[in-house]
Every structure is written in structure tokens, then in C-alpha cells.
Amino acid sequence: MKRKHFLALTLASFVTACTSSNPNPKAPSKVTLTISVAASLQDVMKAVKNIYQLENPNLEIIYNFGSSGSLQQQIEQGAPTDVFISAAPKQMNVLEKRGLLLTQTRQNLLTNNLVLITPKDSTTSVTFETLSTADLEKIALGDPDSVPAGQYGKQVFNSLKAYDKLTPKLVYGKSVRQVLFYVETGNVDAGIVYATDATISSKVKVTDTAPEDSHSPIIYPIAVIKESKKTEESQKFIDFLLSEKGQSVFADYGFTKPEN
């Protein structure tokens, strides 16, 4: 009798221990998505994260912000990435050509405008047309080799036949946000950024908007990376960004939806 009582107590203790260590064995494990995102999307993507994680508590989003060119290189070198958002088609085209994107997941997510900015307290009145003749010492531009905003800016200068004349004055930034910082701190007289970058800063003012026909369309493409182990969750995230709710968040930050 005592032996049976001992065995019953032992079994009860074992069950209790198992239950305590795993109180909810059916609870789904948390999924982490790593998203590589163009630097110009920092603020809006943080807002997106707050909304999306609230609706999907079992998912965690980790952002890797940087210039589209550097993010492209990281993906090519095998950096763990589930979704890539580029500030220009060029970087996405390279990854697609090399077979690094999951087939049929690429879509156009957003559009933007390119603007000329000066420090808020600047008395200089300058436009893209007068930039080459204005009395300016330094003009910030994203590095055209890796920063899409710099590539678009160079196209604008070339369309005005002013790039060669402006080159000695150019100070290259590693990202569009670095260009914004240069202007905010007064380290340069003017800079070329996206309209959405200028909107978030109280330390700069927009003096001109580049004509749409002076540069390639500013398109932000998005796609799932082929090596991702969480393709279903990645596609679900992309679907949210493209949804009416997701696009309304982007609209709040000045981005627009592509026509196609």
C-alpha cells in the first residue's frame, strides 16, 4: 500500500514538473523576420513595425537600414535577409539577375520625389536650374555608386548639363540620411534628398523639386530573398505593406503608391 502511494506521489510530481516547465505546450514559437531596408525609409518602417507586431504578436521584425547598394552587397555575400526594400530598381535588378530573389515576389512598393534643400536659416535662394551658378561652396549628394538618391541627383545634374561644373563642390554621403545630416548641421550649403527626408526635419527647407523628366522614376521595389527560411511570413508582411492599411502609413510620411 505504501509502495502504491509512493508511486502515485512520484507520478504526480513528474506531471507537475512537466507542466511548470512548459505551461502552454501548444503556444506557437516566435518568428523573427530580418528586413533589409533603404535608409530613406527608416522613420516610416519603424511606424509600420509597431502596427504590424501589434497585430502579429508572435512575430518580431528586425531592420537592417543602409544604402541600397551596401544592402545589395550584403545579400550577395550571404547576410541573413528575408525581405529587401531598395530605393531604386538597379540594386534589385542585380539580385534578380543573379537568382537571389524568390520567384514572383518582386513588386513595386512606393514612389518618391527628389528635392533640393538648404539649412533652415539660409538666406540663399537656389533652384536646380541655378545651382551651378549660385554662390555655394559645398553641395551634399549621396554617392552615385551606391546611393540611389545620389544616382537620381546625378541624372538631374546631367540633364541640366551641370554635373562637371558642380563636381568640385560635391560632398558625397554614404546614405541619403547622411546628406540630410550634412545640411541640418550646416556643414554644406545645400543637398539633394528625397521629399520624405526633408519632411521629417525641422532644420532644413525645400527650395526646389526636381522635374520628373530629369531623372528615372523613383521606385522602391520589394521582394523576398530566395534563401529566406520564412517565405510565408515574408510574403504576408509584403502583402500588408501593399494593402490599403499599409499604404496609408506610407502616405502619412509623404510616400505615394506606384501606378502599376
Which residue, 135, 115, 119, 114, is CA-closest to 190?
A: 119
* Grid coordinates belonging to 8: 502515485
Q: Does position 244 have pLDDT exceeding 90, yes or no?
A: yes
Which residue, 132, 155, 133, 128, is CA-closest to 144?
A: 155
| Residues listed for the chain | 260
* Grid coordinates belonging to 56: 502579429
Question: Is 37 assigned to a binding site?
Answer: no
Contact 52, 7 (CB under 8 A): no
Q: Exposed, middle or buried by CB within 10 Å (0-12, 13-18, 19+), for 143? A: buried
Q: Picking from 21-35, 90-104, 226-240, which range would have the lowest pLDDT averaged per residue?
A: 21-35
> What pLDDT does residue 259 have?
81
Rounded-to-integer distance, Cα 148 and Cα 167, Å: 17
Residue 62's identity, in one-letter code, is I
pTM for the complete prediction? 0.80
Phi and psi for 220 in degrees, rounded to 5?
Answer: -105, 100
Question: Is 149 assigned to a binding site?
Answer: yes
What domains are defined for the chain? 31-111+220-252 (3.40.190.10), 114-214 (3.40.190.10)
Question: Is 68 assigned to a binding site?
Answer: yes
Contact 115, 193 (CB under 8 A): yes
Binned at pLDDT 50, 70 and 90, residue 74 comes out as very high
- pLDDT tens string 165-217: 999 999 999 999 999 999 999 999 999 999 999 999 999 999 999 999 999 99
Contact 219, 108 (CB under 8 A): yes
> What pLDDT does residue 1 have?
47
- pLDDT tens string 97-155: 999 999 999 999 999 999 999 999 999 889 999 999 999 999 999 999 999 999 999 99
Q: Does position 11 have pLDDT exceeding 80, yes or no?
A: no
How high does pLDDT run on average in the chain?
A: 91
DSSP state letter for 225: B
